[in-house]
Amino acid sequence: MDVKQLKVIDLFAGAGGFGLGFKLAGYDLLCSLEFDQWACDTLRENDKQQVVVEKDIRDFQAPDEIKSVCSITPDLIIGGPPCQGFSIAGPAQKDPKDPRNSLFVDFARWVEYLQPTAFVMENVKGLLSRKNAAHERVIDIIQNTFENIGYSVELWVLNAANFGVPQTRERIFIVGNNLGIDKIGEPQINHNLDITGYPEQNEQLSSFPKGEFSLVPAITLWDAISDLPNLQASEGCEVQAYLHRPTNS
């Protein structure tokens, strides 16, 4: 299937960074759900054609309520629900570290009711080591929840620097599909973060991993901002003239 035909819903959209990545990759972003007014204003300003649903995801509980948001069934649901510190309504003694008491449940509910072909859920890498009060691993609870509604699940730990972002930012991606595919496989990196991965003088190329030199060096912060106008310490300026040619794309 052509990727441009694939329809996406973005939950917990924020200012739209996650959804933008899918749009740039050719996906059709059907709508973004976000409850913060300022974030929604940003979404609308950046894409005036985009459907923005400015509501709390917890307002949607029944299948019909969720299905009413979009008339087209999505192929993919994406989002980064907070998995700690956001308890749903209920007794105060509920464990806030248990994802079953968090907004993750709402993300899973949308996946269950809309039955997209796949979903991508993003969160902090620390999720892998978190446990609830009963000493159950949070990631196991999340994975089992999706498997119980018919999805094969795999976990990816990706570093943004390996994909051309000038920041070493690791995140976990929980990826599921209902096609019966056990392992889709992580996306192939295109930037080399390991600055020691290149041969020293007189060292044989054959001693390095095959394909190592098909990668380009990771982009540094200096690569990203060195062409911007200079500011002195404690100096501020709302607008400055951009006098240089870009040093990166």
Residues in a beta bridge with 53: 33
Please compute the mean of the pLDDT values over residues 225-248 and round it to a whole number: 78
* The two structure tokens encoding residue 143: 């994975």
Q: What is the pLDDT of residues 56-115, one digit of tens each?
A: 999 998 989 998 888 889 999 999 987 654 333 334 345 655 665 578 899 999 999 999
Residue 237, pLDDT score: 75
Query: Do the bridges between strand 7-11 and strand 28-34 make them parallel or antiparallel, or are there none, so unpaired?
Result: parallel
- Is residue 237 among the annotated active site residues? no
Considering the domain 7-197 in this protein, what is its CATH number? 3.40.50.150
d(CA 226, CA 198): 24
H or E element at residue 113:
helix 104-114
Residue 196, pLDDT score: 41
Per mean pLDDT, which range of 58-67, 201-210, 236-245 is the poorest? Answer: 201-210
Check: CB of residue 98 under 8 Å from CB of residue 87: no
Residue 228, pLDDT score: 83
Residue 204, pLDDT score: 43
d(CA 131, CA 191): 33
Residue 125, pLDDT score: 87
Domain ranges for the chain, please list them.
7-197
Residue with the bigger pLDDT between 248 and 217: it is 217
Please compute the mean of the pLDDT values over residues 4-12 and round it to a whole number: 91
Please compute the mean of the pLDDT values over residues 38-52 and round it to a whole number: 94
Check: CB of residue 113 under 8 Å from CB of residue 67: yes
Most confident of 57-66, 199-208, 211-220, 236-245: 57-66
CA 121 → CA 74, 79, 124, 246, distances in Å? Answer: 15, 5, 10, 34
Please compute the mean of the pLDDT values over residues 173-191 and round it to a whole number: 92
Q: Which of 31, 40, 70, 83 is catalytic?
A: 83
Chain-centre distance of CA 57, in angstroms?
A: 18
* The two structure tokens encoding residue 200: 């020293």
Residue with the bigger pLDDT between 185 and 226: it is 185
Chain-centre distance of CA 83, in angstroms?
A: 14
Percent above pLDDT 90 for the chain: 45
